[in-house]
Amino acid sequence: MRVEKMGVRITSQKIIPHVSEEFAAAYGLPEGDQSVAFFSVDNDDAAYLAADDATKKARVHIVHAETFYGGRSCSWSKYGGSILILMSGPRVDDVRSGMSYVNDFISCRTGLYCFDGDARTEFYAQTIARAGRYSSQAFGVEEGQSYCYLFGNPIESAYAIEKALRAGNTVMTRYWSPPSVSNSCGAVLTGTESACKTATQAYIDALRFATENPMNL
């Protein structure tokens, strides 16, 4: 089975230059943050990593990030996507900068994959060379450390994550047991960049085997 890349896109994005005190209190914005940006992506995994990338390069905080139950197939609206993320910053220029990095990551530096063009086999597997502030908070990865983010269909992905852990010197810092809110299974593994790349490839290889041989014990 061949690996094929599928498109990932931002489905909606909006900026509020100066929020009210009530709005800031409702979301618990960090002190001094007055501007916010909302965005949604049709794949939540890519969105989480894009948010982390923004925290490495812009003066922003990720205040809220949550996958919708059932993922994009259960979205509440035409532009709902799979996830809602709220980013805040001291000034509107800060959140604009953060959103430019989010757009760049989604457009140019990530992707959802599947086998032989079959969207029912889709998965997400990416090595990140250096964790940002958001990954440190959300995934338990030390800031600046390399990690790999692995997500796929429940049984196949659980099987492949175990193979990835055995492939290299990595440690699992986060595990989403199947079925997650988006009916999948995933993990974050951390280690050296080389070890994470090895684990990512092992995950893909094991996922391919499990997909090709669903009844093979």
Mean pLDDT for 6-21 is 95
Q: What is the pLDDT at residue 179?
A: 84
Q: Which two tokens stand for residue 74?
A: 């259960």
Q: How far from chain centre, in Å, is Cα 129?
A: 14
Within this chain, domains 6-110 and 116-212 share the same CATH topology: yes
Q: Is the per-residue pLDDT at 183 higher than 90?
A: no
* pLDDT tens by residue, 109-130: 999 999 999 999 999 999 999 9
* pLDDT tens by residue, 42-82: 999 999 999 999 999 999 999 999 988 656 555 667 777 88
Q: Is the per-residue pLDDT at 193 higher than 90?
A: yes
Beta strand 10-16 with 35-41: parallel, antiparallel or unpaired? antiparallel
CB 165 within 8 A of CB 158: no
Query: For 177, how many CA atoms within 13 A lie in the half-sphere containing its CB?
Result: 0
Q: What's the pTM?
A: 0.94
Kindly report the CATH number that applies to the domain delimited by 116-212: 3.30.70.1710
Q: What is the pLDDT at residue 7?
A: 87
Domain boundaries, the chain: 6-110, 116-212
In this prediction, residue 177 has a pLDDT band, given cuts at 50, 70 and 90, of very high
Fold that domain 6-110 belongs to in CATH: Alpha-Beta Plaits (3.30.70)
